[in-house]
């Protein structure tokens, strides 16, 4: 009975470890996916002179409106807004946004701010899918590892108990056998009469 209780406790501990590992993996994968998406779709390496990693973190990677606000400020501050296509600076953000808003199949319209908001929202949404998948894998892996470790420890402890019990029973049987032999040797009914 104690073994079942110990295994149940180990399982609960494994679930907790799995959830913690899953959440850590979710955050890490989410941040990486948002940063990668922003770099690839908008050509941004830095925002306001700071690396994306310092702005897109565990607290901000799911907030598309906050991220798009930073990017809009970068776009406007880079001199990208212009009445004439492609007349802004040649910064990657200007080039990529202008190319995409004037592309015939963009379907988003010519408003660069709307394009940035829509693009960032899509990047964050896609990153959530990546983050959830990473969390599931990490959670399952950590749970399995924790359960195996705990179960192996419980099995080792119970094997030691089984061995002790087996030796005790064997000792009792030997004592009983010796007592039976002594009884038979000492018993008057056992003596042979010639």
* pTM of model > 0.75: no
pLDDT beyond 70 at 57: yes
pLDDT digits (tens, 9 = 90+) for 12-56: 777 787 788 888 888 999 999 999 999 888 888 888 788 888 889
Query: What secondary structure, in 3-state letters, does 64-117 show?
Result: HHHHHHHHHHHHHHCCCCCCCCCCCCCCHHHHHHHHHHCCCCCCCCCCHHHHHH
Strand, coil or helix: what is 191? coil
Report pLDDT for 36.
92
pLDDT digits (tens, 9 = 90+) for 143-190: 788 777 777 777 776 677 677 788 888 889 999 999 888 888 887 765
> Which has the closest alpha carbon to 123: 26, 38, 32, 28?
38
Q: DSSP state, 50?
A: E
From CA 99, how far away is CA 119, in angstroms rounded?
A: 14
Higher-confidence residue of 151 and 138: namely: 138
What is the chain's percent helix, strand, coil content, to nearest 5? 75, 0, 20
Grade residue 127 by pLDDT with cuts at 50, 70 and 90.
very high
Q: Which long-range contacts (CB under 8 A, 24 or more apart) does 49-57 make?
A: 56/31, 57/31
> Which has the closest alpha carbon to 42: 117, 81, 97, 109?
97
Report whether 123 contacts 82 (CB < 8 A).
no
């Amino acid at each position: 009975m104690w073994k079942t209780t110990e295994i149940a406790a180990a399982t609960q501990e494994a679930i907790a470890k799995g959830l913690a590992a899953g959440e850590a993996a979710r955050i890490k994968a989410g941040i990486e996916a948002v940063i990668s998406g922003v770099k690839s779709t908008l050509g941004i390496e830095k925002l306001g002179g700071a690396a994306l990693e310092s702005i897109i973190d565990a607290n901000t990677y799911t907030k598309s409106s906050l991220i798009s606000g930073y990017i809009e400020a970068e776009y406007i501050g880079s001199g990208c807004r212009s009445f004439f296509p492609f007349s802004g600076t040649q910064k990657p953000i200007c080039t990529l946004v202008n190319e995409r808003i004037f592309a015939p199949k963009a379907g988003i319209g010519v408003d660069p701010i709307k394009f940035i908001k829509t693009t960032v929202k899509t990047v964050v949404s896609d990153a959530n899918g990546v983050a959830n998948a990473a969390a599931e894998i990490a959670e399952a892996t950590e749970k399995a590892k924790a359960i195996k470790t705990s179960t192996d420890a419980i099995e080792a402890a119970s094997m030691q108990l089984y061995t002790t019990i087996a030796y005790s029973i064997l000792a009792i049987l030997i004592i009983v056998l010796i007592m039976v032999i002594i009884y038979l040797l000492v018993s008057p009914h056992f003596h042979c009469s010639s």
